[in-house]
Amino acid sequence: MATPPNSSHASSQRWSSRWLFVLAAAGSAVGLGNIWKFPYIAGENGGGAFVLIYLVCIAAVGIPIMVSEVLMGRKGRSSPIHTMRKLAKVSSRSERWSILGWMGVLAGFLILSYYAVIAGWAVSYIWASGSGAFDGASAQAVGAHFDAFLASPIELIGYQTGFMILTIWIVGRGVTKGLETAIRWLMPLLFLLLIALLVYSFNSGGFGQGFAFMFDMKWEAVTADSWLIAMGQAFFTLSLGMGTMMAYGAYVPDDANLGTTVVTIAGLDTLIALAAGLAIFPIVFANGLEIAQGPGLTFVTLPLAFGQMPLGDLFGALFFLLLSFAAITSAISLTEPALAYLVEEYNAKRQRVAISLGIICWALGLGTVFSFNIWSDITFVGGLTFFDTVDYFSQNILLPLGGMLITFFAIWMLPKGLVDQQLGIDSPKLSLGWRLVAGIIAPLGVLAVFLSTTWPLLSGLWQ
Ligand code: PFF
């Protein structure tokens, strides 16, 4: 006799409402990418001009791919691997398309392995800022604090382990009890924290300068690369290309309108990225500091700036709390494709699967921890450290490849009627327009990003 599906199967679970899906997907989308990466690249690539380009990329590439992922997830009602298998069957296509699901599982693993390490840094900085460690400190002292932290594997592993345990505990409790409860609490708190930080930055004395840095139309700073950077960012920030949205889409109620739902999610993600920039830059400028890049901006320049401000300890701690909340709602989504698959395939207990996945991912993350200290001299292809390699392979190869193939499948492989019915499209003109944007423009846009980022490395390999 066939074993009855256990209650944590994707097919039997649903978000309690359309709004919970919107919040969960926005939680996945809003992460480290919005808060530390977007403000910096917008400022450097033409400010307002870049923001416009970015909006075009979100609309022409991001939204079509997200719609494709969610609609496939809702139609398949399983983990991405099983969804791809089912959809290939109903469309009389090769079951090999399920490789897309496998690529997503692998990408989720790799990304989570380092995401947990970096999120651990944010958690550690909640205490460091709140306890006044940066109060009136010099630039050298703040830089030395970060260097000493990165040089200590034990400390990094401690925070990484704590973050992984929390993530696994949440996802192990299931969609309603785990994911939804976390999202119901964390997302409103994230919005509140961001508003508090915006008010603080508005009164910092540097608001005008920060606003100008982000929104003045500096077309002269826009290059061909800016378009590719905008497209890559649109893609990563919306958590596309690895089946996360497909896995979350499996729990979307039948009556939710996918078009408006996805536009709301993308809108929230964009709004939060813009707000993050407006919360960060004025504080940096108010203290006469230079905008630094990547981790340096978040973990050195910002603590230094907060350290010079009244109530800086409190607001510095709140900023890192915001970053940690954004990271955990993304981290829980990274496990879903693999978790849902294993629960379905082996009819296994969600909690047990979550713990096993967590342990493997944690062990892989040790490679990232060591890349900042004892393995910092060990490099792979292109002179990249272990962390850089994992980051490069997942973000620049697996995600764009996955995204391209997902939209291609949704538009050209699935029966046309099925897509129109899922999207509620009833006019032939609209249907054609949708196929043009989602079936041609979006995959070509991703192809451009893919080739531009992988070409230098690939051409280096042949030489
Ligand atoms: N969207 C997240 C961010 O901007 O940080 C990163 C991410 C989460 C990518 C989940 C992919 C994913 F499946």
CA–CA separation, 229 vs 53, rounded Å? Answer: 10
Ligand 1 center from residue 205 Cα (angstroms): 33
Pocket-testing residue among 115, 238, 334, ligand 1, by greatest number of atoms within 8 A of Cβ: 334
- pTM for the model stands at 0.93
How far apart are the CA of 239 and the centre of ligand 1, in A? 4
User: In the chain, which stretches have pLDDT less than 70?
Assistant: 1-11, 460-463
Which is the closest atom of ligand 1 to the Cα of 245? 13
Distance from the alpha carbon of residue 316 to the mean position of ligand 1, in angstroms = 24
CA 27 to ligand 1 center in whole angstroms:
9
Nearest CA to ligand 1 atom 11: 239
> For ligand 1, is residue 110 a contact (CB within 6 Å)?
no
Indicate whether residue 242 lines ligand 1 (CB < 6 A). yes
Would you state the pLDDT for residue 462?
60
Distance from Cα 133 to the centre of ligand 1, integer Å: 30
**Cβ–Cβ under 8 Å, residues 272 and 280:** no
At 35, the amino acid letter reads: I
- Residue 7: the pLDDT is 52
Distance 276 CA to ligand 1 centre (A): 16
Find, among 392, 330, 387, the residue nearest to 117 by Cα. Answer: 387
Residue to probe by mutation, ligand 1, list 40, 65, 70, 111, most atoms within 8 Å of CB: 111
- Token pair of 442 as six digits: 């979006």
Q: Cβ(237) to ligand 1 under 6 A? A: yes
Which residue has the CA at smallest separation from atom 12 of ligand 1?
239
Return the pLDDT at 16.
Answer: 92
In this prediction, residue 431 carries a pLDDT of 92
Supply the residue whose CA is at minimum distance from atom 7 of ligand 1. Answer: 239
Q: Which of 404, 394, 392, 44 is nearest to 226 (CA)?
A: 44
| pLDDT value at residue 59 | 95
**CA of residue 216 to ligand 1 center, whole Å:** 28
Q: Which two tokens stand for residue 408?
A: 């291609």
Phi-psi region of 270 (alpha: psi -120 to 50; beta: other; left: phi over 0): alpha
Give the pLDDT confidence score for residue 11 in this predicted structure.
Answer: 65
Query: b/e string for 432-447 if b means 16 or more Cβ within 10 A?
Result: eebbebbbeebbebbe
Annotated domain spans of the chain = 8-458
Q: How many CB atoms lie within 10 A of CB 63?
A: 23
| Nearest residue by C-alpha to atom 13 in ligand 1 | 239
Our answer on whether the CB atom of 331 is closer than 6 Å to any ligand 1 atom is: no
Cβ contact 19:261 at 8 Å: no
Fold entry, domain 8-458: Amino acid/polyamine transporter I (1.20.1740)
Per-residue 3-state assignment (H helix, E strand, C coil) for 417-429 = HHHHHHHCCCCHH
Site to substitute for ligand 1 among 66, 235, 330, 401, most atoms within 8 A of C-beta: 330
The answer to whether the CB of 32 is under 6 A from ligand 1 is: yes
For residue 77, the CA-to-ligand 1 centroid distance in Å is 22
User: Dihedrals φ, ψ of 131, to 5°?
Assistant: -85, 0
Structure confidence at residue 362 (pLDDT): 98
Ligand 1 atom nearest to CA at 326? 5
Given the structure tokens 């915006």, which residue do they identify? 198
Rg (CA), the chain: 22
